[in-house]
Amino acid sequence: MQLGRLILILLSITLLTTSCKRSAPPVAVAENPSSVNGVQIGSSTLPRAKALEDMSWTKLDGFEQKLRDLRGKAVILDFWATYCKPCLEEIPHLMELEKKYGKENLVLVGLHVGGDEDRPKIPEFVERLGIGYTLGVPELALQEFVFAGTKGEIPQTAVFDRRGNMVAKFIGFDPETKSKLDEAVSTAVQSK
């Protein structure tokens, strides 16, 4: 009887010491505060899976592109879907910004987050809106970083300066957001 209790105690100790391990620390932490529509959210350190400049998307032609590839230019990453009504309003404005500053100064990338069921609708959507900028699908790490602290609403628009630092992030699109987006893009384009 005592031998059975001793074995049970040893087995319990073994299970407890081998199954309870400390969680791993985050791989990286954001250096800059994150804001949505000009209002800081959460803490200034949001965890991320890898360095922001190494986050990527797969363009619709199948080639991968990273934020680092666009260094030296201001960048807008716009997360959208064909069923998103505010996206229909925002996309023409984003194209106007690209035209205003020129592709040599401002790169616009549309990142589709509508899911597999929405992808077949992309060609008709592109044709209807006259989209001529790069389109792709973001890797999970990039999508999680940009969508951190939000409920996943779209559009979400991230503006980066010429050094690859996030200047601002916006959720939705309305006249106030449009004005703040214009200011953020101007700041990003003027950065050195």
| 108-123 residue pLDDT tens | 999 999 999 999 999 9
Single pTM value for the model:
0.75
At residue 187, the pLDDT reads 96
- Which homologous superfamily is 27-190 in? Glutaredoxin (3.40.30.10)
At residue 135, the pLDDT reads 96
- CB atoms < 10 A from the CB of 72, how many? 13
Distance, in Å, from the CA atom of 37 to the CA atom of 174, rounded to the nearest integer, reads 11
Torsion of CA 39, 44, 46, 51, to 10 degrees: 110
| 44-103 residue pLDDT tens | 344 556 888 889 999 999 999 999 999 999 999 999 999 999 999 999 999 999 999 999
